[in-house]
Amino acid sequence: MSAVANPTQIVKKNYVTAIREALFEEMALNPDMICQGEDIGILGGAFGVTEGLQAEYGASRVIDMPISEACIVGSAVGMALAGKTVMAEMQFIDFISCGFDQIVNMMATYCYRTAGEVNMPVVVRGPAGAYGGGALYHSQMNEAWFCNSPGLKVICPSTPYDAKGLMKAALRDGNPCLFFEIKELYRKREVEELLPEEDYVIQLGKAAVRRSGKDITFVSYGQNVYHCLQAADELAKLGVDAEVIDIRTLVPLDEDTIFTSIAKTSRLIVVNEAPMTCGFAGEIIARVSEKAFEYLDAAPVRITRLDTPVPWVKPLELYVLPSVEKIVAAALKTVKY
């Protein structure tokens, strides 16, 4: 007799499904929520994040927009001023630069220039990151641009559970949020998780300790969290016990979790795939140097992308990006300092 699947069996969800569920649920909970972006309606988004959304909620709430990021963000600002909550998709986060003026000069500043009277409930989200052969126009991590713009919250989840809970938190926050989704994690089987059936949110500005350790602290976010975890496994074979912190939100930043870890390990490596110069890894190290210097027994280290566009050829792409091997080598040098 052949086995029959249990219809009530709990199935693990991937990263893209988690984000899609968050959007569906928030659209159901909030009749004033609008979604808009290029090809998000009939097509369901370039990566399928909004698949089925327009069929469920109609073309008046799930709007296919022209290829103009300035228009997508600018109209989102206008709708937020009219009382709507807006999810604005960038088909690739690389092209968010085309809507940069609307984000940093309009969306980010409204609360301040109205003395707190005007909320701006807009979440600008989209696929980001490298490692997939997308070359220079489809591999960027440009989050530091927006961390430098007061008024914006910046989010980058690494797990399906976090992707759903942080998306729901962002859509309910009332402040403008930039939501960086790691496209290489969208359908990666290794990161699939069971998600709660009940409604949940994850607090913005709270990091997660992914692995406890006593010898060195790794701080990261997005896909590089997994590189850090793999490096920690390799280091454990060599007798080095690494702690891995996933900050999850860059702005606001959970400094306390980072400082508490460094107080225990006395050593720090920050890993992210944006360029090194003026990147967010440097911001984390600056804050540690200013506020937790007395805990350090070695100079903190950044492992980032080289200051170059991401190449298309795979060996060159991997050469310029962070890797498990680079993290392990830096950690061994740091613990021997």
pLDDT tens digits for range 64-87: 999 999 999 999 999 999 999 999
- What does the pLDDT average to over 227-244? 98
- Tell me if 179 sits within 8 A of 93, measured CB to CB: no
Of the listed ranges 6-20, 106-120, 178-192, the one predicted with least confidence: 6-20
Query: What share of the chain in percent tops pLDDT 70?
Result: 97
pLDDT reading at 5 higher than 70: no
Check residue 256 and give its pLDDT: 98
CATH 3.40.50.970 placement within the chain: 15-191
* Mean per-residue pLDDT over the chain, rounded: 96
Check residue 293 and give its pLDDT: 97
pLDDT reading at 225 higher than 80: yes
Catalytically active residues, by annotation: 138
Compute CA 165 distance to the chain's CA centroid, rounded to the nearest angstrom: 12
pLDDT reading at 4 higher than 50: no
* String of DSSP letters for 148-209: TSTT-EEE---SHHHHHHHHHHHHHHSS-EEEEEEGGGTT-GGG-B---SS-----TT--EE
pLDDT reading at 10 higher than 80: no
Check residue 92 and give its pLDDT: 97
pLDDT reading at 249 higher than 50: yes
C-alpha–C-alpha distance, residues 227 and 229, integer Å: 5
Q: Which long-range contacts (CB under 8 A, 24 or more apart) does 228-235 make?
A: 228/271, 228/327, 230/324, 231/324, 231/327, 231/328, 231/331, 234/324, 234/328, 235/328, 235/331, 235/332
Check residue 11 and give its pLDDT: 83
Check residue 3 and give its pLDDT: 40
pLDDT reading at 179 higher than 80: yes
CATH 3.40.50.920 placement within the chain: 208-335
Please, which pLDDT band fits residue 97 given cuts at 50, 70 and 90? Answer: very high
CATH architecture of 15-191: 3-Layer(aba) Sandwich (3.40)
- Tens of pLDDT, residue by residue over 131-148, are 999 999 999 999 999 999
Check residue 6 and give its pLDDT: 42
- Considering the entire predicted model, what is its pTM? 0.95
In eight-state DSSP terms, residue 132 is: S
- Tens of pLDDT, residue by residue over 39-57, are 999 999 999 999 999 999 9
Query: What topology does CATH give the domain 208-335?
Result: Rossmann fold (3.40.50)
